[in-house]
Structure 1
Amino acid sequence: MIRNLLTIALRRVKRQRSLTLLHILGLSIGLMSCIFVWLYSNEELSFDQFHEQGDRIYRINQTFIWGDDDALFGSTGPAVMGALWREVPEFESMTRVHTPGNFLISHSNALGEQQVFEEEHLLAVDSNFLEIFTFPLLQGNPKTALINPKSIVLTASMAQKYFGNENALGKQLELGEQPNKQSYLITGVAADVPANSHIQFDFLLSMSSFPRVKKSADSWMWTTFVTFGLLREDADPDVVAQKVAAVPGKYLEAFLQKYRGISYEEFLASGEEWNLYIQPFLDTHLRSTHVYSRLNEVSDINTLYILWLIAGLILTLSMINFVNLSTAKATTRAKEVGIRKVIGSARKQLIAQFLVESFIYVVGAVIVSLFLVEFLLPAFNGITEKSISITQLFSPDFILVLFVLTLVIGLLSGLYPAFYLSSFRPALVLKGKNMQGLGGTRTRNTLVAAQFAISIAMITCTLIVRDQVEFWKNADLGFDRENKIIIEHAERLGTSVEAYENMLLQHPLVERVSHSSDTPPMIFDFDNFVRNGEEQRNISVNYLTSDEHFLEVYGLSLMMGRNFSREFTETHHIIVNESLTKSFGFDTPEDALNQPITYNEVDYKIIGIVRDFNSNLSDQIYPTAIFDASAPIFRDPSTELTVSLVRDLTADETMDLLSDFESNWNLIQSSAPFDYTFMDQEFLQFFKETIRFSHILKALASLAIFIACLGLIGLVAFVIEKRNKEIGIRKVLGASVTNIWILLSGNFGRLLLIGFVIATPLSWYLMAQWLESFPMRTTISVFTLVASGVLMLLIAVITMSFQTLKASRMNPVDYLKEE
């Protein structure tokens, strides 16, 4: 019997090639979408799972002490680890990761040539780092490799880069620049860090190599240390969390008294907080959108939920199409059903026949979807910026999931058509009368309305994500970020910075040049400033150093006072923004002019006040201070040059300009590489995850729309098949092509409107929740909601028009010849 069912089903599939193509194409696209989302989710969920003790590792987070932001900080001061180690015995071990920034690394190759590279992925770690985290060493002892000062562990790819096939262990690398260049001994070679690791590095430096770490061992405010604790196996995380939370109250008193001159109670009374929290390390990648991460970018688990919801909706669209296309061709199978019932076929045999056909289509769709995935995987990796391999599809878990999915889709897609087609009564069918069976019209209209709702929701979500990205691109941040090139590490030019700036200004495409310690909106240096008086005020301020051209280059508006000038000695002068004057309690900005502000026990006179600008893409404007480059403040010595161009350049002009910049650089500093970035590109790096999500959503929405078009083909085919005799009669009576088109499309508008009414509030609610996670966010426009429905309407009209116009032009004789 099974053989007979398969033979009949295969003949049927082969005979109706166009229907087979539509069935398999629709289902394969739905399956392909699910497979791609599975691959992406599997990659995201696999982050950090390779650490043998990963389930016992916890990161220490703290209150964001540098402002009023509700988010947490994923890093702490160097003193936090010692305090926790003394107060929380449940920690079996603790370690810190410090981010010292970029380094120049130099090395003489086998030919005696000096090679210099600027390396970004360097971390300073405590000596037990490799005992807590599973980063296996190919060479060296993980227990001793990072104990001694000036010890360095590099990855296998870096060992190949610097030493080729030679054994790197025991050799030397020189880090830094003259006069502070130092030799480091290679004490280990680690396997390359997996892409699915939150902690990424090419080099590990021993923490003892940095004297400032020991000097600042009591600091809670130098928050560049990511602190991790390994819990004992019998430890209760909830108990540990309570003990960790109690630590600041015990240790901050002495620190605040020493460095801020206030007690812990006074600190709390001022409305500020300083709390510590523990977070499972395995949650850092997908559940840290509320935590400022220092080591790597993070993703959002909600993004995976949304993608799975979308993949499920696309697969639902595919199955709806299958049902519609199957029932739309009911007339062509009605006589077959009638004859088979007359000669003795039971209804269960017919249901089995139709289910076998359904499974053949689904199996064919599975095979086609796998080929599509393999063909489109490079494009998918490009969109998601992943390196997913097709070999992941051969895992036992995926094969099991695919098998179960095939069974479920085959049943869900095939049951209704099977029961519907097998319900025809042979006496009526053989007289030429069609049967609706099981309320066919109502069920089909419900499915089509659901299809419209899903498609409109997909379009709406895509447009809202696009609106958010465009909002970021066009947001008024209070400064000019157009047509700017940032030249990194200008401090390497030494005393020749000004000479280099003059070289740049000679170029006709260069309008202005400025040097500064940071550039907006990437200013993240916070520290405490004090206003002395009857009521002393101590607030956290975002600060930078710059020259006299900075305000002009970035278009910062000077409200009052003056800019820095070479006519004055600006060592103890400062320019502030409006928010700083308000935070320090000045009634008006004018009252702040020429008043002293204390930083590091040195008074700086406010000589100018600029309008507020967004210094670091927060949802609030932080108090910001601008020092002259000559100010005696302790900070990272790095300097950035901002080159403002006269206009937007072509690609060729840009390359020629950068070539000139590099040539001028090499005339002054040939031992250090020329490094640059474009401000607009660096700006968009802040929104990299959302832009990537936008690209994924756009691709999935396009697939959903394509499947929706297939569904409309099924709907129109059914309407034409059901009303073909009516079309013929109307044409005989003089109906025009337009009349016939309206007749065939009449029910469509009502179903689309129902779908729009269902989709709009749901998509609005979901996307409003999604937007809440962004400090800078757009509002959902009514125009966007309406545009989604209009776009779906246009797509539907175009899709339907081919079939309806073709039907309206048919010869009525072809419809009425059986009457």
Structure 2
Amino acid sequence: MAWRNLFRRRQHNVAKILCLALGLSVSAVIIAEIYYEQTFDQCYPDYDRICRVTEGFKMKAQEFTEGFNTSGGVAPMMKRTIPQVELATRTNPIVTDGEVETDDKVRVRADVYFADSCFFRMFPARILEGDAYRALTEPFCCVVNRSTAERLGGNVVGRHIQSKEMSGLKLTIVGVYEDYPHNSTFHNYDVIGSMKTQKNFSYDGQENLVGNDRYISFVRLRKGVSPDSLKPLIHRMIQTHYPVKELQQSGTWLTYKVTPISRYYTEADNIRQMFWILSLLVIILLSVSILNYVLIVVGNLVSRAREMAVRKCYGAGRGAVYSITFSEVCLHLVLALTLGAALLWACHGTIEQLLSAPLSVLVFNRGAWILLLIALMVLFVGGIVPGWLYNRMPVTIAFHGYVEARRRWKVALLGLEFAMVSFLLGLLFIVSMQYRHTVGFDLGYQCAGLASVNITALQPDERQTAYDEVGRMSGVRQVSACNTFPFYGMSGNNVTVPGEESQLFNIADLFTVADHYFDMLQIPIVAGRVFASGSDSLRQVMVSQDFASMMKKLRGWDDVVGRKVIISEHSGNENKDLLTIVGVYRDIHLGSAENNGRDRPSVIFYGRAANWMNNYLLIQLDDFSVEKLTDIQMRLQRFFPGKTVLVESVENLKNMQYVATRNFRNGVMTVGIVVLFIALMGLIGYVSDEVNRRHKEIAIRKVNGACVGDVMRIFQLNILRTAIPAVLIGAVGAYWVAAQWLQLYDNRIALTVWPFLVTIVLVLLIIVAVVAINCWRVANSNPVEYLKQE
């Protein structure tokens, strides 16, 4: 029966199925993403007892700062001194997205971490091959995850891998473990080596209680212990085992926070805000899909009334009517799910760019029961509502026409859809404006026309060769080098005045730059001068305007040029080497343009292009083009055939900071387009039903002198009485949600009513245009064609 009704005229079954398919498929993706993020780091046994340890500190003249990491000795000290801590472990990021090479010259990009021997006790993973315990207890041994082993060609146990960025780091693979899930902190841990390795090739700060804050620390609490109960114990640990007097003299206050890993990610401000915004989008999308289905069903009452009445005359009871409606919605749902799955499969490449994990992983996980529940909800609503309406119809309809319009139902449902369209388009306006604002924000320096080459895998003589060769190429204006880019996160160091013990404030350290750096990035010098070429050994430093302002505030220095300061990590192990300030540059924005990074003092040191501290070669081109980047890459690759050379646009690297905002914009746009399409389908169906119901009235009006415009205005004014308040409500809701979303950004646009007024006008124009197009046929028709049926 359901199959026979599928292609009946004026049932709008194709519209029903298409709208359900779009609504359910997009909703399924968003719900899967929400569930996946809300179960972050819940894949370990006893995850509710595992906590991440983070550090907070305050220095003179600066606000309290909470970091993500700790010093190396913090987690072991907690294990030794706090009985409520059952187990402690740490990881130390050694190479991030670097290149590793096997003995047989297979090169892959990988993240390399060192970890304590008890790492797999706290975070168990299935060991596929080898000995994981040996990997984390013996120096220069490691384990790799399954995906890395496959990229290396398989059969990796016993082979060696060497980091191209860190000379001396050569590890023996002694095991392979199964990848951690995508919603795990350790998903990108491609290589995990023994913590005992680092003291053999670099500075070993794993026992430090203060400084070298690069370790990611975790503790597992005993059963029944609350993280909050550790606060006094942590305070006592600091007072007993830390150099409290020295910290007080330096003006530093230190503490630690213990947060369950299941909440560490989900309680971040951006994740919490995005959770309820995405949840709201899902509710809107599902509501529009289901309401539109019901709207079309209600619109079909007039055309199917006689059919149902005749069935009742032949003995069909309430159960028989419900069986018809349930069989039809079941068929529609199956076809919609099939079409939705086909759409997701066809577009999975584009969709996965917006998600945190592959589409198959998101959909087919423990949260799949939510998707099943939604399908059952659609089945229930789509079967119950029309069945209830058909059962209320009197049998006399079989002999007399059914003229009840059910207009209030349809208008109410249509109004909800209009409100949701207005809400999404208003939100989309704001998200797009914020994205354009961040991408075009003046950072205080220029990236346009600059290319970069990561030179961390090159030796000093090779770096000089690269510098010289690129400089000789035609079309290259200038070449420089730097340790990092201002739009990346900065590590910090502390400033002290000679003769004093107190540390004044913390600065963002950009480390080294080479000749021409300030010219290429167009950073003005406001006092003093830039570094003299080849001045590595002169212990000179350049500082930002904020640095100079802090020194005037704290020490009364009107002019910092020529003054000497001590900066940790640059003034020797005992902080006795003095640094001379030679210049002051205009403040630049540090980090992403989405955050307020211009108010942090910063410093820059000099290092020749071949200096081991420089990680990037900077290239300024006369004519920036993809072809020119390719030429540079091919030339450098010929000089270094054993290294992977990648030439990239600095502007593109900067804009990668805003991928999350761009993805959110694209997600809202996708949902908005789908909701708009569904709403328009509902509007078209509503207008079509109204035209069919009122065609004789229209014919009489035309006989009495009504023109085409008069007929169209009847329907347009009828719709606008519902559309105007609905669109206003949607715009107000969009304003409120946009205001909450913008709180995630320190650097944000000013929220005004103008984008929402534009949204209101745009939605109303679309509604008026759709109504006009659908009324045009009957408004221009010959009234005799309708009246002769009487």
TM-score, normalised to structure 1's length?
A: 0.85
1:71 and 1:539, CA in 2 relative to 1: closer, same or farther beyond 3 A? closer
Following superposition, the deviation at residue 541 of structure 1 comes to: 0.8
SS at match of 2:473: coil
1:88 and 1:569, CA in 2 relative to 1: closer, same or farther beyond 3 A? closer
Deviates more, 1:42-51 or 1:204-213: 42-51
Deviates more, 1:38-47 or 1:558-567: 38-47
Matched, 1:267 2:252: yes
Q: Which one of the candidate residues 210, 221, 237 is aligned to 1:247?
A: 237
Question: 1:335-381: per-residue Cα shift (whole Å, max 9, x none)?
Answer: 44566677887778767755654555445434443444444444422
SS at match of 1:597: strand
Q: Match for 2:445: what amino acid?
A: F
Matched, 1:620 2:607: no
Matched, 1:281 2:261: yes
SS at match of 1:16: coil
Checking the alignment, whether the CA contact within 8 Å between 1:248 and 1:276 is kept in structure 2 is: no
Q: Which one of the candidate residues 623, 644, 667 is aligned to 2:620?
A: 644
Matched, 1:59 2:52: yes
Q: Which one of the candidate residues 165, 173, 176 is aligned to 1:186?
A: 173
Checking the alignment, whether the CA contact within 8 Å between 1:595 and 1:605 is kept in structure 2 is: yes
In structure 1, distance between residues paired with 2:169 and 2:481? 27
Checking the alignment, whether the CA contact within 8 Å between 1:35 and 1:373 is kept in structure 2 is: no
Following superposition, the deviation at residue 676 of structure 1 comes to: 3.7
Matched, 1:505 2:471: yes
Checking the alignment, whether the CA contact within 8 Å between 1:529 and 1:597 is kept in structure 2 is: yes
Q: Match for 1:620: what amino acid?
A: G
What's the Cα RMSD here?
A: 3.4
1:120 and 1:486, CA in 2 relative to 1: closer, same or farther beyond 3 A? farther
Checking the alignment, whether the CA contact within 8 Å between 1:464 and 1:767 is kept in structure 2 is: yes
Q: Which one of the candidate residues 9, 14, 18 is aligned to 1:16?
A: 9
In structure 1, distance between residues paired with 2:257 and 2:457? 38
1:65 and 1:483, CA in 2 relative to 1: closer, same or farther beyond 3 A? farther
Question: 1:581-635: per-residue Cα shift (whole Å, max 9, x none)?
Answer: 122235998522322222233222222211111122341321011112279xxx9
Checking the alignment, whether the CA contact within 8 Å between 1:59 and 1:228 is kept in structure 2 is: yes
1:509 and 1:289, CA in 2 relative to 1: closer, same or farther beyond 3 A? farther
Checking the alignment, whether the CA contact within 8 Å between 2:182 and 2:356 is kept in structure 1 is: no
SS at match of 1:612: coil
Question: 1:406-457: per-residue Cα shift (whole Å, max 9, x none)?
Answer: 4432443454544555555666895557224xxx333322221111111111
What pairs with 1:782-797 in structure 2 (closer than 5 Å)?
A: 782-797=753-768
Matched, 1:131 2:117: no
Following superposition, the deviation at residue 479 of structure 1 comes to: 0.7
Q: Which one of the candidate residues 74, 78, 83 is aligned to 2:77?
A: 83
Checking the alignment, whether the CA contact within 8 Å between 2:724 and 2:764 is kept in structure 1 is: no
In structure 1, distance between residues paired with 2:557 and 2:430? 39
Question: 1:467-516: per-residue Cα shift (whole Å, max 9, x none)?
Answer: 22222211111110112212112582414544532322333332222112
1:644 and 1:547, CA in 2 relative to 1: closer, same or farther beyond 3 A? same
SS at match of 1:99: strand
**Which residue does the alignment assign to 2:139?**
149
Q: Which one of the candidate residues 675, 678, 699 is aligned to 2:670?
A: 699
In structure 2, distance between residues paired with 1:242 and 1:640? 45
Q: Which one of the candidate residues 427, 432, 452 is aligned to 2:418?
A: 452
Checking the alignment, whether the CA contact within 8 Å between 1:150 and 1:184 is kept in structure 2 is: yes
Checking the alignment, whether the CA contact within 8 Å between 2:629 and 2:648 is kept in structure 1 is: no
Checking the alignment, whether the CA contact within 8 Å between 1:34 and 1:308 is kept in structure 2 is: no
Runs of 5+ consecutive residues of structure 2 not aligned to the other structure = none
Checking the alignment, whether the CA contact within 8 Å between 1:58 and 1:281 is kept in structure 2 is: yes
**Which residue does the alignment assign to 2:578?**
603
Following superposition, the deviation at residue 555 of structure 1 comes to: 0.8
SS at match of 1:275: strand
1:532 and 1:476, CA in 2 relative to 1: closer, same or farther beyond 3 A? same
Q: Match for 2:512: what amino acid?
A: T
Identity of aligned residues (%): 21
**Which residue does the alignment assign to 2:197?**
209
Checking the alignment, whether the CA contact within 8 Å between 1:594 and 1:607 is kept in structure 2 is: yes
Checking the alignment, whether the CA contact within 8 Å between 1:578 and 1:589 is kept in structure 2 is: no
What pairs with 1:359-378 in structure 2 (closer than 5 Å)?
A: 359-378=330-349
Deviates more, 1:324-333 or 1:550-559: 324-333
Q: Match for 2:531: what amino acid?
A: F
**Which residue does the alignment assign to 1:233?**
223
**Which residue does the alignment assign to 1:100?**
94
**Which residue does the alignment assign to 2:444?**
478
Question: 1:304-334: per-residue Cα shift (whole Å, max 9, x none)?
Answer: 4332321221121122222322232333234
In structure 1, distance between residues paired with 2:265 and 2:3? 48
Checking the alignment, whether the CA contact within 8 Å between 1:146 and 1:206 is kept in structure 2 is: yes
In structure 2, distance between residues paired with 1:581 and 1:685? 31
Q: Which one of the candidate residues 721, 734, 737 is aligned to 1:766?
A: 737
SS at match of 1:585: helix
Q: Match for 1:286: what amino acid?
A: T
Following superposition, the deviation at residue 99 of structure 1 comes to: 1.0
Q: Match for 2:249: what amino acid?
A: S
SS at match of 1:448: helix
Checking the alignment, whether the CA contact within 8 Å between 1:329 and 1:721 is kept in structure 2 is: no
What pairs with 1:225-624 in structure 2 (closer than 5 Å)?
A: 225-244=215-234, 246-254=236-244, 257=246, 262-263=248-249, 266-268=251-253, 274-289=254-269, 300-336=271-307, 354=325, 357-384=328-355, 386-389=357-360, 392-393=363-364, 398=368, 401=370, 404-420=373-389, 422-423=391-392, 432=401, 434-436=403-405, 440-489=406-455, 492-495=458-461, 497-532=463-498, 538-543=504-509, 544-566=511-533, 571-586=538-553, 591-599=559-567, 600=571, 601-617=576-592, 618-621=595-598, 622-624=600-602
TM-score, normalised to structure 2's length?
A: 0.88
Checking the alignment, whether the CA contact within 8 Å between 1:62 and 1:75 is kept in structure 2 is: yes
1:815 and 1:242, CA in 2 relative to 1: closer, same or farther beyond 3 A? farther
Checking the alignment, whether the CA contact within 8 Å between 1:135 and 1:190 is kept in structure 2 is: yes
Q: Match for 1:637: what amino acid?
A: M
Checking the alignment, whether the CA contact within 8 Å between 2:32 and 2:363 is kept in structure 1 is: yes
1:38 and 1:772, CA in 2 relative to 1: closer, same or farther beyond 3 A? same
Count residues with an aligned counterpart: 772
SS at match of 1:121: strand
1:69 and 1:430, CA in 2 relative to 1: closer, same or farther beyond 3 A? farther
Following superposition, the deviation at residue 55 of structure 1 comes to: 2.9
Following superposition, the deviation at residue 524 of structure 1 comes to: 0.9
**Which residue does the alignment assign to 1:816?**
787
Q: Match for 1:275: what amino acid?
A: T
In structure 2, distance between residues paired with 1:402 and 1:408? 10
1:721 and 1:549, CA in 2 relative to 1: closer, same or farther beyond 3 A? same
Deviates more, 1:515-524 or 1:423-432: 423-432
Q: Match for 2:140: what amino acid?
A: K
SS at match of 2:134: coil
SS at match of 1:442: helix
Question: 1:544-589: per-residue Cα shift (whole Å, max 9, x none)?
Answer: 2212311111111111221112397872322111111122235998
Question: 1:288-318: per-residue Cα shift (whole Å, max 9, x none)?
Answer: 457xxxxxxxxx2543433232122112112
Question: 1:747-792: per-residue Cα shift (whole Å, max 9, x none)?
Answer: 2223222122211222211222122122332233433212322332
